[in-house]
Amino acid sequence: MAPRFSHRPVLLDESLALLALRPHAVVVDGTVGGGEHAAAILESIGPDGRLIALDLDTAALEAAEQRLRPFGDRVELIHASFRDLGRILVEIGVPQVDAVLLDLGVSSHQLDQPGRGFRFAEDSADRTPLDMRMDQQGPTTAADLLGSASVDELARIFREFGDLRGARRLARAIGEARRRAPLRTTRELLDVIDAARVGGGRRHHPATRVFQALRIAVNDELAALEEGLESAIDALRAGGRLAVLAYHSAEDRIVKNRIRDAVRGCFCPPRTPICICGGAVRLRGLTRRPVVPTPDEVRANPRSRSARLRGAERVVAAV
């Protein structure tokens, strides 16, 4: 039997407060996971509300289907990336929505399933494949990437997505190791990381950063986030709300900058007498600083530790 889906929703009350949901609302949960945020959203929007729920992971969608069954046909579960939200809304005939939630990254359930390869656990490393795809039908596994990316590309991935000290040294070590045999299991990658002696002096095991970087690259997470934010802003009606939960700095920076740019609108140089860039204010910021979990929430759910929640409201520029 498949293990029970377990994921505690992070910053649940705070996310709902930012979304300011009303009965009848049409809401998108772009990352439904096990459906805990979704269930709370459905409670808030009442029997006439509608939830469009996306996930890349078919196991998450199966779990969400069970969790959200009591809400019947008020929920539409769709196997898709939130980067394709615009196309999906056209396909299902929904021109505008009242709120969009994105709870980024991986669920606890994905992390806890050894077969998915998101985590390195010493005891199962020999039989854990280097997979890391959120979408089980995705084209590229971590093993594929480690086999095909150039040493320069691997160094960039470890530096930019993992902030890893010794990124190039590790990339070269992988280049040498794969000349002998392709890297297939978590153990084989852990051995190369150990031998390359990277990431010294940091609190976390260097493999944490390497695994995070590979996961981001395998799932093209940062580009998907840029596109997803754009689609979400486009989809919101005036007064509609966006809430995004990020779990690492590169993600949070993208959310912060995208909201800041949409709040600013115009990018003409200072002292330009009239706007020539054609930019328009599209959002009103709701969180000057990101909302973070309380010490109590972190104690109860250590995986919430790095969460950063930001929100904004859609405005329609005066013409």
* Residue 207, token pair as written in the block: 């493999």
Our CB check for ligand SAM shows the closer of 188 and 308 to be: 308
134 binds ligand SAM per the rule CB under 6 A: yes
Our CB check for ligand SAM shows the closer of 56 and 232 to be: 56
Our CB check for ligand SAM shows the closer of 97 and 155 to be: 97
Q: Give the alpha-carbon dihedral of 208, 210, 214, 215, to 10 degrees.
A: 10
Which residue of 16, 27, 33, 100 would you call a contact of ligand SAM, by CB under 6 A?
33
Q: Which stretch binds ligand SAM (CB under 6 A): 33-41, 148-156, 163-171, 271-279?
A: 33-41
Q: If you search the block for the tokens 């809400």, which residue do you land on?
A: 71
34 binds ligand SAM per the rule CB under 6 A: yes
Beta carbon of residue 200, minimum distance to ligand SAM (angstroms, whole number)? 30
Q: How far apart are the first and last CA of the chain?
A: 58
With beta carbons less than 8 A apart as the criterion, state whether 86 and 63 touch: no
Give the phi and the psi of residue 125 in degrees, each rounded to 5: -60, -30
Site size toward ligand SAM, by CB under 6 A: 23
Residue list 51-110, contact with ligand SAM (CB under 6 A): 54-57, 60, 81-83, 103, 105-107
Which residue of 26, 31, 120, 170 would you call a contact of ligand SAM, by CB under 6 A?
31
Which residue of 89, 164, 177, 224 would you call a contact of ligand SAM, by CB under 6 A?
224
Beta carbon of residue 108, minimum distance to ligand SAM (angstroms, whole number)? 8
Where are the extended beta strands (E) located within the chain?
A: 26-29, 50-55, 75-79, 97-103, 236-246, 283-285, 308-314
37 binds ligand SAM per the rule CB under 6 A: yes
Beta carbon of residue 218, minimum distance to ligand SAM (angstroms, whole number)? 11
SS3 content of the chain, % helix, strand, coil (to 5): 50, 15, 35
Measured distance CA(151)–CA(163) in Å, rounded: 16
Measured distance CA(221)–CA(215) in Å, rounded: 8
Our CB check for ligand SAM shows the closer of 42 and 54 to be: 54
Measured distance CA(149)–CA(102) in Å, rounded: 29
35 binds ligand SAM per the rule CB under 6 A: yes
Closest by CA position to 158, among listed 148, 140, 147, 146: 146
252 binds ligand SAM per the rule CB under 6 A: no
* Residue 131, token pair as written in the block: 């997979």
Our CB check for ligand SAM shows the closer of 192 and 236 to be: 236
Beta carbon of residue 106, minimum distance to ligand SAM (angstroms, whole number)? 6
Closest by CA position to 37, among listed 14, 4, 3: 14
> What's the one-letter identity of residue 29?
D
The site for ligand SAM (CB under 6 A) is made up of: 7, 9, 30-31, 33-37, 54-57, 60, 81-83, 103, 105-107, 134, 224
